[in-house]
Amino acid sequence: MTYQPSAARYDKMQYRRCGKSGIKLPAISLGLWHNFGHVDVMENFRKILHLAFDSGITHFDLANNYGPPPGSAETNFGKILKEDFACYRDELIISTKAGYHMWEGPYGEWGSKKYLVSSLDQSLKRMGLDYVDIFYHHRPDPDTPLEETMMALDLIVRQGKALYAGISNYNAEQADAAIAILKRLGTPCLIHQPKYSMFVRDAENGLLDVLEKDGVGCIPFSPLAQGLLTNKYLHGIPQDSRAAKSTGFLQESQVNDEVVGKIKKLNALAEQRGQTLAQMALAWLLKDDRVTSVLIGASKPEQLADSLKALDKVDFTADELEKIEAILK
């Protein structure tokens, strides 16, 4: 059966302008970091992508190394794109990135022009695309001159392989310098993707101010702190969780009594607001006008549907915000 998207797909989603650009992004975007690799079930992530688009999510975020194995998320996304979304390409914002280790040898990671151009060429082949909408440098490179990395992004946009340039994981000072170089080159930085959640607040150390000053959008990743800001860890560590496996970025040692105590208090406050903890955590990021969109992951359609309900209540009272700060301290 051919996929027919919902005719009402744009009715409920909120769209926010990305910095001082012509682009608007959905308040919630879908990241394909986990759950879309060759180790996962194609029919499951097909359902997730269908639900996302039916709900007004137009932005799908990838990177060269997403999987596992690396590259497989792009390959799988490309297959579904061709089969189900081919005639809706112009309704989509598709992004990918390069910066982390992708292939062997000295040109397979970091920020050289050689690596970034080669990586995007590989990504386009895997996804079966002529161009992506946004191409990010995934992390700062301490050894390559920032000019070279930004000139590579500028070149890629001028070649038509990406419409916009972005950066990710840059701190305030690094972001300010990168944005200034791109502006000088004539390819303004569209967006920055930092790690930001109730539990990880580094973006508040000047980065959000820089983005606001320079008219650059902001799309936090890991807004649920690898699942900590959900009801998953309220009663310890479930066997099927990331923390139990300790294979990814969340280790068992991070889910200690102090953290679980905070999660329980935040969960109680979320219940008073008529939300799940995950919904409140997403709404808490979206309360800031400088945040364009929040990037979520999903391992099943039900998770995505739950997260989308965060948009029903993104306002907080001063009292609620005070209580949240007191818990997080």
Angle between the N-to-C axes of helices 42-54 and 72-80, in degrees from 0 to 180, rounded to the nearest 10? 60
- pLDDT over threshold 80, residue 236: no
Q: Is residue 265 part of a domain?
A: no
Position 245 pLDDT exceeds 70: no
pLDDT at 232: 86
pTM of the model: 0.95
CA neighbor of 225 nearest in space, from 260, 191, 257, 185: 260
Decide: 137 and 149 in contact? Cβ < 8 Å.
yes
How far does CA 217 lie from the centroid of its chain?
Answer: 12
pLDDT value of position 240: 65
Q: Domain count of the chain?
A: 1
pLDDT of residue 242: 62
pLDDT attached to residue 246: 53
Q: Give Cα 256 to chain centroid, integer Å.
A: 26
Which pairing describes strands 15-17 and 24-26: parallel, antiparallel, or unpaired? antiparallel
- Whether the pLDDT of residue 255 is over 90: the answer is no
In a 3-state reduction of DSSP, which class is residue 158?
Answer: helix
Q: Which domain holds residue 63?
A: 15-234+284-316
Confidence of residue 256 (pLDDT cuts 50, 70, 90): confident
The C-alpha angle 326, 328, 329, rounded to 5 degrees, equals: 65
Is 170 part of any domain? yes
pLDDT at 244: 60
Model pLDDT for residues 68-104, shown as the tens digit of each residue: 999 999 999 999 999 999 999 999 999 999 999 999 9
For residue 242, is it within any domain?
no
Cis peptide before 68 (omega within 30 of 0): yes
pLDDT averaged over every residue in the chain: 95
Tell me: pLDDT of 269 over 90: yes
Q: Which of these ranges, 179-193, 245-259, 281-295, has the smallest mean pLDDT?
A: 245-259
Would 243 be classed as within a structural domain?
no
Pairwise CA distance, residues 223 & 109, whole Å? 25
Q: Taking the C-alpha atoms of 241, 242, 247 and 248 in order, what is their torsion angle to the nearest 10 degrees?
A: 170
Rg (CA), the chain: 19
In-domain check, residue 268: no
CB contact burial 126-157 (16+ within 10 A = b; e otherwise): bbebebbbbbbbbbbbeebebeebbbbbbbbb
Residue 253 pLDDT: 64
pLDDT value at 225 more than 90? yes
Number of helices (H), then strands (E), in the chain:
11, 10
Q: Give the per-residue pLDDT at 249.
A: 60
Residue type, 192: H
**Model pLDDT, residue 248:** 57
Residue 264 lies in a domain: no
Residue 63 lies in a domain: yes
Contact 38, 26 (CB under 8 A): no
DSSP E strand boundaries for 84-212: 93-98, 132-137, 162-168, 189-193
- How far, in whole angstroms, is CA 258 from its chain's centroid? 27
User: What percentage of the chain exceeds 70 in pLDDT?
Assistant: 95
**Average confidence (pLDDT) over 265-269:** 97
CATH of the domain at 211: 3.20.20.100
Note whether residue 329 is domain-resident: no
What number is the average pLDDT over the span 298-310?
96
